[in-house]
Amino acid sequence: MDKRTIRDIDVSGKRVFLRVDYNVQFDDGTILDDMRLRESIPTIRALQECGAKIIACSHRGRPGGKVVEELRNAPVAEHLGRLLGQPVRALRACVGPEVDAAVAEMHSGDVILLENVRFHAEEEDNDPEFARALASCAEVFVCDAFGTAHRAHASVVGVANYLPVVAGLLMEREIDYLERVIHPVRPFALILGGAKVSDKIGILENLAAKADLICVGGGMANTFLKAQGIDIGASLAENDRIEDALRVMRQAALRDDLRLMIPTDVVIADPGGERANTVSVNRVPPGFRILDIGRQTIEDFRDALQTMNTVVWNGPLGFFEREPFDRGTIEIARALAFLPHAITVVGGGETAAAVQRAGVADRISHVSTGGGASLEMLQGITLPGVAVLLDR
C-alpha cells in the first residue's frame, strides 16, 4: 500500500480523531454481529501503546440528519468497552461544548465514542464547517473505517482538510488484500453471486481480463440462464441486463484461458417456498423459483477452484438466509477455506455473514468489513476515504 499508516506518524500523547465503522445492529440490547468492533481493536491498542487519547467517531444507520433514539452510539460504546476491558465513554454529541469538555478530561489511553455523526445532515453533505468542528478536538486523523471509505462525508474526507490523515491497521489490511485481488497471482478465480448482474457487472468488466475462472451463482445466474434461452420459471431475473450477460459469455468464449461456469442444476421451490427439489436448469417448472445452486454445480465449482492461487468471492450463491437454500453458499465457503495455497478474499456483508455461518471465517485470508466499499474498489473505483490518506 502506498499510503501512510499509524506506523508512519508520531501519535505519542496526542489526541487522535479515529474514524471507525461501527454501523452495527442491536436486538433487544444485544449486538447481532460485532465483527467491525473486533476488527478495530488492533488499531485502538496500537494507539494506546503510544499513549494517544482516542476520540472515536462512527455513524449508525440512516437517520437522515435527525436524532433517532434507537441509533444512538451508547450501546456500541458499552460493547466496545467490554471488548477492550476498560470503560468507553459515550457522548451525546459529536461536536460542541460537551465534546470539548470530555476531551479536556482525557488521559493517555482513554477512549471516548462520539454520538452518531449522521444525526447531523452536514455529515453526508461533507459540510466544511462541520468537518472543521469535528477536527477541532484532535491533532491527528486516523481513518480505519473502510466500510465507509466509499462515502465522501465530512468525517471520512472533510476532516482530512484540517488534520494529517493516515490509515489504521484495518484500513491498511483491507487495501492490501483487495490490491492483491486487483493484481492477482494467477490462476485467479472470481465467484460472483447475489441478486443482480447490475451490482457485479463493474467487477466483471474490471477483473474478467485477469481471471482464469468465473463462477456465477445466486440470483444473477438466473439472468445468465435466461440469456441462453433457458426457461427459469418464476425466478427473478434482470431483463434489462440480458445483453450484459450475453456480452460476458461471448467474451469468455473468445478466450481459451478463461472458464465461465454457470449452474447446470439448481434447487427450486414453489411460490410458497415449499417443496424444495433439485433439477436440471432445463427442467424448472412454471411458477417455481430458483433459490440455490444444485449439488452437481457445487461439485463442479469446488473442483474448478482447486488449482486457483487467488480467489475473490462477492455475493451469496442462493437464498442463504433460509434452509435448505443455504447449502450452495455454505459448501463453497467451506471449499474456499480448505484450498491448499490460495489467497482467498471475501467481500460484501452477506458473503461475510455466510463464511461466519459456515464456521470458516478464520480460514479465509481476508473477510472484508466493507460491502459497498469492497464492491467499488473491485470495480477499479478510487474510494474517497482512501484517496485522502497521506501518500508515503
Dist. CA 203–CA 314, nearest whole Å: 9
Continuous H helices in the chain? 35-49, 74-84, 97-104, 121-124, 128-135, 169-182, 197-207, 218-227, 242-253, 295-305, 327-337, 349-357, 371-378, 384-387
Identify the H or E element spanning 266.
Answer: strand 265-269
From the list 332, 246, 321, 322, the residue with the least C-alpha distance to 294 is 332
Residue type, 128: P
Active site members: 36, 196, 349, 372
Query: Which residues does 120 contact at the CB level (< 8 Å), separation at least 6?
Result: 65, 94, 95, 130
Across 211-244, b (16+ Cβ under 10 Å) vs e yields bbbbbbbbbbbbbbbbbeebebbebebbeebbeb
> How close are the terminal C-alpha atoms of the chain, in Å?
9
Q: Spell out the residues 6+ positions from residue 207 whose beta carbon is closer than 8 angstroms to its own.
A: 181, 182, 188, 190, 312, 378
Q: Which residue has the cell 452437481?
A: 296
How many CB atoms lie under 10 A from the CB of residue 35? Answer: 16
Rg value, the chain, Cα? 23
Distance CA 52, CA 45 (A): 10
Q: Which of 167, 206, 198 is nearest to 312 (CA)?
A: 206
- 287, burial (CB in 10 Å: exposed 0-12, middle 13-18, buried 19+): exposed
CB atoms within 10 A of CB 133: 19
Number of neighbours of residue 164 by Cβ within 10 angstroms: 13
